[in-house]
Amino acid sequence: MKTAAEIMDADAPSVTPEDEARTAIDLLSKTELGAVAVVDDDRKVVGIVSESDLILADEESDLHLPHYLEIMGGIVFIGSMKGFEKRLEKAFATKVSELMSEDPIVAHTYEAADRVAKKIADHHHNHLPVVDEDGRFAGMVTRADALAAVVDG
């Protein structure tokens, strides 16, 4: 059985939390990548930006304010402002840190492909960053890579 190191894309690019959001968006749009790992100065994986992070769901796309009531000259929000603020942040993200999903599930270089495939399936992800023994970014593995390795044995 192949390991994650053998099936990953070792040349997968990464970005840092301080990079411009545009950098991650350009990488995703100009390549066939569905996700980009976010690494710190020590190359440790701190997040991931996937295509789904760039898509505001239909009900979020108009960014309407939560429902509110006017009571005695003041406005009281009935909906969650927190959810609205999160959607607003993503819509106007300028840094990768505002766009990324933090603490992503990762695969380790030594893990068997079937274990990687199970992680991908269990967490409903299409991509997993792969890290080495020191927790540093080593590459990216896709659902297709993992499944192909499992099928091939």
Distance CA 139, CA 5 (A): 8
Does residue 137 have a pLDDT over 80? yes
Please write the tens of the pLDDT for every residue from 74-128. 756 566 656 655 666 666 778 999 889 999 999 999 999 999 999 999 998 899 9
Q: Is residue 81 situated within a structural domain? A: no
Total domains present in the chain: 1
Amino acid at 108: H
Q: Is residue 77 situated within a structural domain? A: no
Of 122, 128, 124, the closest CA to residue 145 belongs to: 128
Q: Is residue 84 situated within a structural domain? A: no
Q: What is the pTM of this model?
A: 0.76
Please write the tens of the pLDDT for every residue from 34-81. 899 999 999 999 999 998 777 654 444 455 555 556 677 775 656 665
Q: Is residue 83 situated within a structural domain? A: no
Does residue 24 have a pLDDT over 70? yes
Residue 57: what pLDDT?
Answer: 43
Q: What is the CA radius of gyration of the chain?
A: 19
Amino acid at 143: R
Q: Is residue 75 situated within a structural domain? A: no
The CATH code of the domain that includes 36 is 3.10.580.10
Q: Is residue 64 situated within a structural domain? A: yes
Residue 77: what pLDDT?
Answer: 57
